[in-house]
Amino acid sequence: MVFGVVAGMASGEVKVEMAGLQVTAKGYVSEGENEFNSLRAFNRQLGTKVGLLVTSSDKTIVKMDEEKSKVTVFSDDQETDLIKVKGRFGKKSGVFRLTSKAKDGKAIITHVESSGVPKKGTKNLTLKGDLVVSLASKSKEVRSELTVLKKGGELVVGEDAFEVNSLGKPDWGDNPIQVELKSSVSYKDFKGFHFYDSEGNKIESKRSGSGSMGIFGKRTYTVSFNLKKKVDKIVLAVDEWSDLEVVKVPFNFTIGAGL
């Protein structure tokens, strides 16, 4: 097994390692049923999935760009191209999905999936490509002006604007108010969000949900917070990364049964 490393960076190194391999072959289809209701191992769809662990020695991994990251080779040792296989409803193979981040920000797990499976007798798989990740270590707090808190209102923080998409009592819990913010930037692009009242006191808050929607090449993001205090006016503050850098991390794996 081989792992990719970005060496010689002033910030240290970013390392990519194998984290898991799952191959789900054809299962059993009851008489009169179709493939949608087949019985398969792991209760998964037909296909091959490889998990990659990305770690940073000293900087926070702010995010991984799944669209700019590329898989150039995903094949078995019998020249089966697992990138070319399309799944149900035209699902693409050889793309990154299900990326998650560690609480300390120093590691992420991402998965490369294919709807194809290796040919019988395969001993090794080959996986090559590049991961594009954003790294940072320093941040600074930037605040909006004191603004009336109302649905449709806008909180401008630096160069970014956040619209109050919804406002009201949370569906559960004892918090008096929930604020959902909508923007063209994701909350993941920032180290943190904070709220202050008209007297400059910090309001205890907790993120309660997030989402995104894309259309015609544009994406809109939402994030909601439950606040411990109900206020009429509010200040939104974000911790902006001040030394953000984007790096491309090459990887080249020969994958056998033993990780």
Cα distances (Å, whole numbers) of residue 218 to 85, 188, 212, 221? 28, 17, 10, 10
pTM of the model: 0.79
Give tens-digit pLDDT for 109-135. 999 999 999 999 999 999 999 999 999
Give tens-digit pLDDT for 134-182. 999 999 999 999 999 999 999 999 999 999 999 999 988 899 999 999 9
Residue type, 158: G
At residue 7, does pLDDT exceed 70? Answer: no
- Residue 27's pLDDT is 78
**Rounded distance between C-alpha atoms, residue 198 and residue 145, angstroms:** 10
- The correct CATH number of 4-137+244-255 out of 2.60.40, 2.30.29, 3.90.1070, 1.25.40 is 2.60.40
**Rounded distance between C-alpha atoms, residue 232 and residue 200, angstroms:** 13
pLDDT band at 183 (very low <50, low <70, confident <90, very high): very high
Q: For residue 60, what are the β-bridge partners?
A: 136
Where do the structural domains in the chain lie, given as residue ranges? 4-137+244-255, 139-241
